Chain A
């Protein structure tokens, strides 16, 4: 029988505690800019919006990301393979704005080992928290144009017709910006994982 503490919604009033910006007398512990001066790898931006079941933007959600460095190593001692890249921490947090919008400035992660030692395509974990969500919903951001997506063991478990919801679209003019919208419900509902 499970003995864990249950999750509860983050509610509508987390901003001053978790993502205060400059609007409250409190400091941010985390940022949506993961870049450290000495980090190697391709610098990218990920932008998107969060939508509810009516297609309305969600202005009071919080997103957290977790990713490996460009060499595919996590800044966690439990990843015992090698030291991670420079001071790169691989964790970011962003509250959505009035348009449901968010952005992260980071580097494109490298491939990391998957089940049975099979490599996983570059991806970023994304957790969505909001009023009306009794716990966070976790998804993955993959990258359009990445050849390794075709052999990714996790994408392979996702029904083919829903995979596109996990692929961030590359910006039109070659700018290293990717678009990743989150739909909590609806025809284009984002794939979330049972973990």
Chain B
């Protein structure tokens, strides 16, 4: 199988300069990016899996003496390429705030309590068909300094590898119906509405575990499609 990576697909991403998200102003390249062909260097990528993910790394609720506070949730989904084929055995890394909207990171000074039973970091590998699953708690919204009364909608950070160095993506998963969506410059840095809504998970009643946890589904579509499309495409 050899994949190609049409540049047009990058149109889904936010502009690098998104001035309402102020930190982009001094951190986005101002000179034109140089277009180059995809060589073996770009078309290959690291292969990480079992040896990187320890048993229970995908359960963020059992890393400490007791369970964290907050609403326990299951987050699962399908990692696939642009043709809809599952991406098997690929690494996902997640990190998130606790139920109060506080990160364990030392720089986070939001005056909400830390939870001694929650770090907020996890890892998983997709299975042979591209499916993954985490157990965690629902993160809280939190304020940030971008503008007056700025709050980030609740989100979980995802880092995904895929088939090549140019399929690699870091993104954020949101929760359906968040009232903060309209006010968040990071969420709205993605200008295409359909693309933006692909970052919003869906409530998944069917996979909720009765008497234990609600469930959200978050599918991730990575760059990459078959070099020779099927006849019926």
Contacts and interface: CB of A to CB of B under 8 A. Distances in A.
Genuine A/B complex: yes
B115 interface: no
A18 B95 contact: yes
A185 B29 contact: yes
A66 B165 contact: yes
Nearest to B166: A195
Interface in B2-31: 2, 5, 7-16, 18, 21-31
A29 B30 contact: no
B107 A6 contact: no
A128 to B, nearest CB: 9
B128 interface: no
A25 B5 CA distance: 37
Contact of A26 (B46, B119, B221): B119
B172 interface: yes
Interface in A114-161: 114-115, 120, 123, 125, 127, 129-138, 140, 154, 157-159
A7 B44 contact: no
B73 interface: no
A3 interface: yes
B41 A66 contact: yes
A108 to B, nearest CB: 15
B48 A29 contact: yes
A112 interface: yes
Contacts of A8: 14, 157, 170-172, 186-187, 189-190, 199
Interface of A, secondary structure class, is loop
Interface residues of B, number: 86
Interface of B, secondary structure class, is loop
Interface centre among B9, B21, B105, B106 (most CB of A within 10 A): B105
A18 to B, nearest CB: 6
Contact of A189 (B31, B39, B45): B31
B157 A10 contact: yes
Given A3-B221, A18-B93, A75 B119 contact: no
A120 B39 CA distance: 9
Contacts of B2: 78
B14 A134 contact: yes
B196 to A, nearest CB: 7
Interface in B76-101: 82, 91, 93-95, 97
A13 B107 contact: yes
Interface string B129-141: 0000000000000
A137 B33 CA distance: 9
A125 B36 contact: no
A192 B14 CA distance: 17
Contacts of A15: 105
11 contacts: A4-B195, A6-B190, A6-B196, A6-B198, A7-B14, A25-B63, A58-B27, A78-B44, A193-B33, A195-B7, A195-B38
Interface of A: 2-18, 20, 23-26, 29, 52-54, 56, 58, 60, 64, 66-68, 74-79, 89-91, 112-115, 120, 123, 125, 127, 129-138, 140, 154, 157-159, 162, 184-185, 189-195
Interface of B: 2, 5, 7-16, 18, 21-48, 52, 63-64, 82, 91, 93-95, 97, 103-108, 119-123, 157, 159, 163-166, 168-172, 186-187, 189-190, 192, 195-196, 198-199, 219-223
